[in-house]
């Protein structure tokens, strides 16, 4: 579109132009044909305009190649952080599994051992029987869960493959992994690099996305997620890099030397500022989780109650159609009067899909998820009623 003395030229055919005149008040008048001189001017002007637009696009493309945010598009990044970026990309994996509602079916993880162990955050995608990891070179492997930490919201996964896949003897590259060191050397203002797969930008051998920022500080986490208090209240690294995005959780935070200093946490909202938090669990917390040979940690209140011998057992007031066999779906048979389920409007014949952030596929899944709840905890329950999905809020009761 080209403006010339109050006329706006619009190209309407291969060789035809129509000019629209405008009155003093700005209202468009009836179209009329351009005189030949103006038609030639309009054609030449448009050609120049298109050439200039092409040059502008080339200039923008060249500019994007040198911007920090565009480094994820390059196979061989340059600059002062090139080595750190390459090191991170080799050690961060893309995870794919099941998704539901607001929970995406993709995420990130970090390799922490030569035999294919991966640390990531707990999420619905891990409940998929087809859970798989994609390495930096595009190789895909099924993975299984080894253990969980309900407090830190972490999971340790194991790649299911023959050992020879990772030792390099069969001609394939060895498996790169992070050494779990410390983060104490970091000071406020130090450079940091976040490496993850937000928004599922990469799928196969494409490089994962990276972003550069600084350490803003350290603090104890006080946050909520989906209207529920977040269980972990320990130390975190706070950064100015935007990592509270779908798919980023489980990614790596590395320093300017490429050393692993933290794991990007689940997207949460600060209870202090009511804003999304960009944070990572320090590498010390990750090392403690990986090296802990005990059972999966439960929320602190449950541990203390169990130790005292008078722990309260959670109750929802739900009875399922549980007739034995494997793979029984979690259909509600009965809801007890004056129960948390009745207060939440759960009804017979409802199919339970999600309980307290955990995907429910079978009756066994429901029982296991229920037993991990805490009395008084506010949880989200997603049910299918007919053809409609409903999200309900429920307060966990105490079993008598």
Q: 138 pLDDT exceeds 80? A: yes
CA dist., res. 341 & res. 347, Å (int): 8
Sign of CA dihedral 62, 67, 70, 75: positive
Token readout for 69 is 């945010």
Confidence band (pLDDT; 50, 70, 90) for 157? Answer: very high
In the sheet that 2-4 helps form, which strands lie side by side, from edge to edge?
Answer: 2-4, 7-11, 17-20, 32-33
**For residue 81, what pLDDT is reported?**
94
Could you report the per-residue pLDDT of 375-395, keeping only the tens digit for each? 999 999 999 998 888 999 999
**For residue 293, what pLDDT is reported?**
54
Q: Find the angle CA(180)-CA(181)-CA(185) to the nearest 5 degrees.
A: 150
| 365 CA to centre of own chain | 23
Could you report the per-residue pLDDT of 201-241, keeping only the tens digit for each? 888 888 999 999 999 999 999 998 876 788 899 999 999 99
Token readout for 120 is 């990531």
Higher pLDDT pick, 118 / 10: 118
Q: Which CATH superfamily, name and number, covers 314-398?
A: PDZ domain (2.30.42.10)
User: Which H, E and C letters describe 169-193, residue by residue?
Assistant: CCCCCCCCCCCCCCCCCCCCCCEEE
First to last CA, the chain: 75
Spell out the domain ranges in the chain.
Answer: 2-65, 82-291, 314-398
CA dist., res. 349 & res. 223, Å (int): 35
Token readout for 63 is 């500019």
Could you report the per-residue pLDDT of 337-366, keeping only the tens digit for each? 889 999 999 999 999 999 988 888 888 889
178: phi then psi, degrees, rounded to nearest 5:
-85, 140
Q: Which architecture does CATH list for 82-291?
A: Beta Barrel (2.40)
Residue 326 CB neighbour total at 10 angstroms: 7
Confidence band (pLDDT; 50, 70, 90) for 333? Answer: confident
Q: 166 pLDDT exceeds 80? A: no
**For residue 267, what pLDDT is reported?**
93
Provide DSSP, 96-162.
E---BTTB-SEEEEEE-STT-EEEEE--GGGG-TT-EEE-TTS-EEEEEEEEEETTTTEEEEEE-S-
């Amino acid at each position: 579109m080209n403006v010339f003395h109050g006329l706006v030229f619009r190209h309407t055919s291969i060789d035809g132009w129509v000019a629209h005149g405008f009155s003093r008040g700005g209202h468009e008048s009836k179209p009329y044909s351009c005189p030949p001189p103006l038609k030639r001017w309009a054609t030449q002007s448009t050609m120049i305009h298109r050439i200039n637009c092409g040059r502008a696009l080339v200039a923008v493309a060249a500019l994007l190649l040198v911007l920090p945010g565009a480094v994820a598009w390059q196979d061989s990044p340059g600059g002062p952080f090139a080595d750190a970026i390459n090191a991170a990309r080799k050690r961060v994996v893309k995870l794919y599994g099941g998704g539901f509602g607001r929970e995406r079916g993709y995420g990130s993880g970090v390799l922490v051992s030569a035999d294919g162990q991966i640390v990531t955050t707990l999420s619905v995608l891990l409940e998929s029987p087809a859970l798989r990891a994609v390495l930096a070179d595009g190789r895909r492997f099924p993975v299984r869960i080894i253990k969980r930490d309900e407090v830190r919201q972490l999971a340790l996964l194991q790649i299911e493959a023959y050992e020879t896949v990772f030792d390099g003897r069969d001609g394939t590259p060895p498996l790169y992994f992070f050494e779990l060191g410390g983060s104490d050397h970091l000071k406020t203002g130090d450079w940091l690099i976040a490496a993850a797969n937000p928004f599922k930008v990469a799928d196969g051998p494409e490089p994962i996305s990276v972003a550069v920022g600084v350490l803003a500080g350290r603090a104890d986490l006080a946050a909520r997620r989906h209207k529920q208090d977040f269980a972990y209240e320990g130390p975190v690294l706070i950064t100015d890099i935007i990592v509270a995005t779908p798919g980023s959780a489980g990614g790596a935070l590395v320093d300017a030397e490429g050393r692993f200093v933290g794991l990007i946490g689940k997207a949460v909202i600060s209870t202090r500022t009511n804003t999304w938090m960009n944070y990572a669990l320090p590498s010390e917390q990750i090392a403690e989780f990986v090296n802990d040979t005990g059972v999966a940690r439960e929320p602190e209140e449950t541990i203390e109650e169990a130790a005292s011998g008078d722990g309260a057992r959670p109750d929802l007031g739900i009875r399922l159609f549980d007739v034995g066999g494997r793979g029984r779906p979690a259909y509600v048979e009965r809801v007890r009067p004056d129960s948390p389920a009745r207060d939440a409007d759960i009804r017979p014949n409802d199919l339970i899909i999600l309980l307290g952030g955990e995907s429910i596929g079978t009756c066994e899944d429901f029982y296991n998820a229920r037993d991990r709840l805490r009395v008084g905890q506010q949880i989200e329950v997603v049910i299918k009623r007919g053809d409609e999905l409903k999200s309900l809020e429920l307060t966990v009761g105490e079993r008598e």
